Chains A and B, each alone.
Chain A
Amino acid sequence: MSVSVERMVKVFERPRSLTGAHSTYCPGCHHGILTRIIGQTIDDLGIVERTVGIAPVGCAVFAYRWYRCDALQVAHGRASAVATGVKRARPDLVVFAYQGDGDFASIGTAESIHAANRGENITVIFVNNQVYGMTGGEMAPTTLVGQKTTTTPDGRDPALFGYPIRFSEMIAQLEAPVYVTRQALFDTKRIQETTKAIRKAFTNQVERKGYSLVEVLATCPTNWHMKPVEANRHVAEVVTKVFPLGDLVNRG
């Protein structure tokens, strides 16, 4: 690199809570942006020594490699249940579950809802990219009407497969959760909003307030067969119409 940075100050660097491992995500995948935001949050709150991440099954299956905190990789859909166990055994730890939409809102439906209903003092990050990314782009419960996936080659037909499920809205109906919000990452403004939301969701736990859920609308450029920039536009113009952004519960 030819640019000299000698007389300059560094204003942005890799969060210290992240390891140096290269991610296994595809080019442009939002899982990577979220990973950086979570690492930054752990740095900002100074909690790396007492944080435990719960990695799902899905493209984030290796999430335990990205952070310098402790982590577990658990059975498909059960991250909120395992987070419950860790947190109840060691209430002094900060526990976050990181789950895709297939993990959280399909195979893990029961565990996800009941952890929220019990008001477990945990932080859940729910990555909604409308497909099963890791296994090759099958329909997820969140797949949009008409969206083509490998299991809906003619587009999702509600008569056969139902409608995309707004899982955060369901959780928002429960009495216990203190914070339920839907965010996105398709431009810098949303990235900053998501950063604030994730910080709040972690802070709620540190302050023993209870269950926080941050749903994040993410892209899967590979299985959507879109360029990363085009996938961002698709979230902004199409996905947010079905999954509106904003806070659903904020009792903080």
Chain B
Amino acid sequence: MPKGTVLVDEERCKGCGLCIAACPQKVLGFSGRLNRSGYDVACMERPESCLGCAFCALTCPDVAIEVYREKVAS
């Protein structure tokens, strides 16, 4: 399985939690950190489980998530 990771733009995140619910690997959670707008932003709670499937990013209404995947040797 390739490994993935996501970057959350914390100032864009509105803490809606849709990415947390969309992640099939239960990687994401609330960080407890408030951004400048006062939202509790999403973060990777279990980064080791991320596959880079991008389900979180597809779901994010604020386009706050970038997704990366490990290069697979071809």
Contacts and interface: CB of A to CB of B under 8 A. Distances in A.
B45 interface: no
Interface in A205-252: 221, 227-229, 232
28 contacts: A1-B8, A3-B44, A3-B47, A5-B7, A7-B71, A8-B69, A8-B70, A9-B68, A9-B70, A10-B68, A11-B52, A12-B65, A22-B12, A23-B61, A25-B61, A25-B62, A27-B14, A27-B16, A27-B61, A31-B61, A33-B59, A33-B60, A35-B63, A188-B55, A188-B58, A228-B17, A228-B18, A229-B17
Contact of A9 (B7, B11, B71): B71
Contacts of B28: none
A12 B66 contact: yes
The dominant DSSP class at the A interface is mixed
Interface residues of A, number: 36
Contact of B61 (A29, A39, A187, A192): A29
Contacts of A14: 63, 66
A15 B63 CA distance: 9
B16 A228 contact: yes
Nearest to A33: B61
Contacts of B7: 1, 3, 5
A100 to B, nearest CB: 16
Interface in A185-200: 187-188, 191-192
Interface in A16-43: 18, 22-23, 25-33, 35-36, 39
